[in-house]
Structure 1
Amino acid sequence: MGKILAFDYGGKRTGLAITDELQIIASPLEGIDTKDIWDHIQRLMNSEKISDFVVGDPSMFGEATDSSAIIDQFCKDLAKKYPAIPLHRVDESYSSRDAMQAMVAGGMRKKNRRNKKNLDMVSAAVILQRYLETRV
């Protein structure tokens, strides 16, 4: 069984999270500049056995949002570049709020919570955890 790689995709930054090989635990991986996303994905594909992708879906109540178009395009590009890897979209509503609460509860210093890349990668882990919970 491979690992699941999750994305909290954004126009400027993207958060990445990954599971363990048993696909039980969702862990924040890194926050990156979106312009570098394809290099990071390829590096991870070379170093990890990735079985699935999970992408946060910004549609609120079935309605498109400001970021829906760029995320739709990212999903199309991801599926085209890696057609053998299943791609799952998960509702990302309130993932940033939940990520901030998790960082506070986990004792992360305020200075580190202000770093948007940290928020993005923890948001990706929240999205990934939601996906894992729906599979049960």
Structure 2
Amino acid sequence: MSRILALDYGVKRTGIAVTDEMQIIASGLTTVATKELLPFLEKYFKEENVELVLVGEPKQMDASASESEVLIQEFLKKFTEKFPQMDLKRVDERFTSKMAFQSMIDSGIKKKKRRDKALVDEISATIILQTYLYK
């Protein structure tokens, strides 16, 4: 089988999570500077067999698109031009940052480490992936 990769796309950083090849376990992979995201993905796709990329879909409480959706749409256009064969799906990402922060508290991560926004982004990507897997 092949992996599923999830992105928590942000203006500065993008959190990335991936499944194992059996698509059972979702794990945080890394956080990448958003300007380096496409080159990172190109390298990753050459090294790993990925069949699907999930991109978080930020929404307001009333289910309308968030302000950052404009930037995500620009990224999606570039992504589909660069990787036309790759399946792409969107996943509602409401509350993932709050859930990520709470999971850090629950797992006993020290306060100083919880300020690491890159770690929050990576955990958020993992939650996006888990949401998709366990639907």
Report the equivalent of 1:62.
Answer: 63
Deviation of 1:23 after TM superposition, in Å, equals: 0.7
Report the equivalent of 2:86.
Answer: 85
Task: Letter of the 2:126 partner, please give it.
Answer: A
The TM-score with structure 1 as length reference comes to 0.93
**Unpaired segments of 5 or more residues in structure 1?**
none
Bigger Cα displacement from structure 2, 104-113 vs 37-46: 104-113
The TM-score with structure 2 as length reference comes to 0.94
**Unpaired segments of 5 or more residues in structure 2?**
none
Report the equivalent of 1:40.
Answer: 40
Task: Letter of the 1:127 partner, please give it.
Answer: I
Alpha-carbon RMSD across the aligned residues, in angstroms, is 1.1
Distance 2:64 2:16 in 1: 25
Instruction: Please list the CA deviations of residues 43-68 of structure 1 after superposition, one character each: whole Å capped at 9, or x if unmatched.
Output: 21121111100000012343121101
The size of the alignment, in residue pairs, is 134
Distance 1:110 1:29 in 2: 22
4+ residue segments displaced more than 4 Å = none
Bigger Cα displacement from structure 2, 115-124 vs 75-84: 75-84
Report the equivalent of 1:118.
Answer: 119
